[in-house]
Structure 1
């Protein structure tokens, strides 16, 4: 098994909360947390890590990252929006996430957008990204291995450091591209 495949196997790339997994009844905050813990448990870096907490959800609500809940219960739409927030917050600021989701929130609250269809499209893009990532990771591993042949006894450590640096660089490039698009949304510019 290649180094890239070992990393991919541990990443649980296919883990998402599908529309079918979201109950058709409204959920209390503890039930939302349980759904995320179950759906994303394989993505934890360590067993003590929390995927989602009451504080996080309350902060998202106070920050108006999703439209108001009714009777302390979260609809399917809320769960889908929380999933989007969960994914975006690791790379974007909370204010950027709010800006990105503002139009989606408004349309979903007014029932002008079928959030299930939007969310399915989002999940399909995620699956596609997973396939691209697998191909790209294999290419990066091969490049790093080729570039580290001259390091002899230190080769394994050098390969890991180079691969980490490469992955961080790619992450930063994608984050910066996302931020440019957020700025365009805020300023009304087109790319």
Structure 2
């Protein structure tokens, strides 16, 4: 089994679209896709995997996950919103992502308002999450190894147990996020 250090190194957990990666000029869709493909290249599971496609971005636009683009150009605020959508869509439904971003989307549509401060906070929290994750995965791996110690095929059983444990942890986090989306939506509706 791959040790946890090797696993952590192979995950490219520090991968982000940083503010300094986002040009200060508006971009066409092909340029936005290229930006994401380059930023998240290391996170691909295989060569054929696409990080972001025109169809995805068009679906986000049709679903009103971000405010309308002008002259087929995406602003820095659009790119930051697309990055947030990209990060959240793997754990939440598109409808939940839309609910979460609703208030930010309205603010970001204002030409004189920038998401940069919020987005930088998001990136900083992500960096902290990587440290928390690294510590957690180490503890889960040690726990799995202890549970199957002495069993026949212990190494394979350890890996299976760790996979199941990671999926369970992922489900716990997803359920907590969904509960928070419901609470946010309920608070907004009562205002």
TM-score by length of 1: 0.95
Structure 2 counterparts to residues 1-191 of structure 1, below 5 A: 3-111=3-111, 113-152=113-152, 154-188=153-187
Deviations 1:51-71 (A, max 9, x none): 000000000000000011000
Contact kept in structure 2, 1:104 and 1:113, CA below 8 Å: no
CA distance in 2, matches of 1:55, 1:110: 25
Question: 2: CA distance between counterparts of 1:151 and 1:32?
Answer: 51
Where does structure 1 differ by over 2 angstroms across 4 or more consecutive aligned residues?
110-114
Post-superposition shift, 1:157?
1.1
What TM-score do you get using the length of structure 2 for normalisation? Answer: 0.95
Question: After superposition, what is the alpha-carbon deviation per residue over 1:9-59, rounded to whole angstroms, capped at 9, x for unaligned?
Answer: 000011101000001111100000000000000000111100000000000
Alignment gaps of 5+ in structure 2: none
Q: Is the 8 A contact 2:77 2:114 kept in 1?
A: no
2:19–2:120 contact (8 Å) kept in structure 1 = yes
Equivalent-residue separation in structure 2 for 1:162 and 1:175 (angstroms) = 20
Tell me, in whole angstroms, the C-alpha distance in 2 between the residues paired with 1:32 and 1:104.
20
Residue by residue, what CA displacement relative to the aligned partner does 1:81-138 show, whole Å, maximum 9, x if unpaired? 0000000000100000000000000011125753011100000000000000001111
Residues of 2 paired with 1:186 and 1:14: CA distance?
30
- Comparing 110-119 and 132-141, the one that deviates more: 110-119
